């Protein structure tokens, strides 16, 4: 299986924030979910892939091609949906299609029309008249019409209602049926990623806190719910972070099987991506 995206030792220093030595790989035929709290570096990573900002170090390749040396060829293979819709308010979707068809060498107007129809974006309405959800759908339709091999989605589903999100997730799943396609999606809505992603990379304060196959992460991590006294007896090296309240404690367990062998009396529940994010963040705050 070829890697669609390889990020190696990516660094970008803003002074007040640093994306620090970020490395991860997105294999072909998969969806990688990029999660992390606000300001963790998700959008910065995507901007670096697209050369929207100048990185300070590291390399990025898309299907084996360097994004700096072969920028235009790489971008011809990438469909983009950014965290805000950047199309002019006065344009109609049909006009937008005409504009983008000359920017993307592989543009397929048939695909664009298909998604316009499917997402209810036909007619002569301008972008200004669309809701945020409709604008996002337009951006997704444009991204598909570019016939990309890699889709980069930065909070692309955040403005959509659950029904539409589900519909769009199905489209993403259909897209990666081709082993030559892949998706990198950053999202706060971790439930979507639990549904669709094959791999997860969790960015925390500009660094990769964890990265791996989603099922393996959800299988190996666990959530310990116990009292304060019990928590104090636990070896902290086995925990990823915890939060305490007047009702008890919740702690992230890094290896639930090893933990169960060592503390058979304590119960470790299964964990969600949100638990991993929240507990890691809380642990850091404490």
Partner 1 sequence: MKGLLYKDFILLRKQLTTYLVFLIVYGGFCVAGVFPLSILVALVAVLGLTVPLSSVATDDATRWDRYAVSTPISRRGIVAGKYLFAVLIILLSGAIVLALMLALIGTGLADGSMGEALLALPSCAFLTLLLNAVTLPFLLKYGAEKARAVSMVLFVSIFGGSILVGGLVNRGLELPALPHWLSLSGPVLLAALCVAAYLVSFAISLEIYNRKEF
| Residue 185 touches partner 1, criterion: CB under 8 A | no
How many residues line the site for partner 1 (CB under 8 A)? 30
- From residue 44, alpha-carbon distances to 84, 126, 276, 278 in Å are 14, 30, 22, 21
Q: How many CB atoms lie within 10 A of CB 123?
A: 10
* Closer residue to partner 1, CB minimum distance, 134 or 253: 134
* Closer residue to partner 1, CB minimum distance, 89 or 178: 89
- Asked whether 16 and 160 are in contact (CB, 8 A), the reply is no
Dihedral pair phi/psi, residue 160, rounded to 5°: -105, 150
CA 120 to chain centre: 26
- Of 33-41, 76-84, 237-245, 247-255, the window that binds partner 1 (rule: CB under 8 A) is 76-84
| Residue 63 touches partner 1, criterion: CB under 8 A | no
Indicate which single residue of 53, 218, 266, 278 sits in contact with partner 1 (rule: CB under 8 A). Answer: 53
Question: How far apart are alpha carbons 204 and 23 in whole angstroms?
Answer: 13
For the CB of residue 171, give the shortest distance to partner 1 in the complex, in Å: 20
Question: How far apart are alpha carbons 96 and 90 in whole angstroms?
Answer: 10
In sequence order, what are the residues at sequence separation of 6 or more whose Cβ sits closer than 8 angstroms to the Cβ of residue 77? 62, 63, 148, 149, 150
Indicate which single residue of 27, 76, 108, 278 sits in contact with partner 1 (rule: CB under 8 A). Answer: 76
- Of 90-98, 174-182, 221-229, 244-252, the window that binds partner 1 (rule: CB under 8 A) is 90-98
For the CB of residue 180, give the shortest distance to partner 1 in the complex, in Å: 18
- Of 45-53, 157-165, 172-180, 203-211, the window that binds partner 1 (rule: CB under 8 A) is 45-53
* Closer residue to partner 1, CB minimum distance, 144 or 263: 144
Question: How far apart are alpha carbons 131 and 120 in whole angstroms?
Answer: 12
Indicate which single residue of 39, 64, 69, 84 sits in contact with partner 1 (rule: CB under 8 A). Answer: 84
Q: Which residues pair with 33 in a beta bridge?
A: 185, 200
Residues that bind partner 1 (CB under 8 A): 47, 50-54, 71-73, 75-76, 78, 80, 82, 84, 86-91, 95, 98-105
């Amino acid at each position: 299986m070829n890697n669609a995206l390889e990020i190696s030792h990516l660094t970008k220093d803003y002074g007040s924030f640093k994306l620090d030595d970020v490395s991860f790989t997105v294999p072909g035929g998969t969806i990688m979910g990029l999660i992390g709290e606000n300001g963790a570096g998700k959008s910065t990573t995507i901007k670096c892939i697209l050369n929207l900002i100048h990185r300070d170090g590291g390399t990025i390749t898309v299907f084996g091609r360097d994004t700096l040396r072969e920028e235009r060829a790489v971008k011809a293979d990438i469909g983009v949906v950014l965290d805000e819709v950047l199309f002019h308010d006065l344009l109609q979707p049909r006009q937008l299609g005409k504009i983008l068809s000359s920017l993307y060498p592989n543009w397929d107007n048939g695909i664009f029309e298909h998604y316009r129809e499917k997402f209810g974006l036909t007619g002569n309405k301008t972008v200004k008249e669309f809701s945020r959800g409709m604008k996002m759908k337009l951006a997704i339709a444009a991204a598909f019409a570019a016939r990309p091999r890699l889709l980069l989605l930065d909070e692309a589903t955040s403005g959509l209602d659950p029904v539409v999100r589900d519909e769009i997730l199905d489209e993403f799943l259909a897209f990666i049926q081709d082993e030559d396609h892949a998706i990198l999606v950053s999202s706060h809505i971790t439930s979507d990623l639990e549904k669709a992603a094959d791999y997860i990379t969790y960015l925390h304060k500009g660094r990769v806190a964890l990265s791996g196959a989603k099922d393996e992460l959800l299988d190996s991590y666990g959530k310990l719910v116990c009292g304060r006294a019990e928590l104090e007896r636990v070896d902290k090296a086995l925990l990823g972070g915890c939060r305490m309240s007047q009702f008890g404690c919740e702690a992230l367990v890094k290896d639930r099987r090893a933990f169960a062998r060592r503390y058979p009396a304590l119960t470790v529940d299964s964990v969600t991506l949100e638990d991993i994010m929240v507990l890691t963040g809380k642990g850091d705050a404490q």
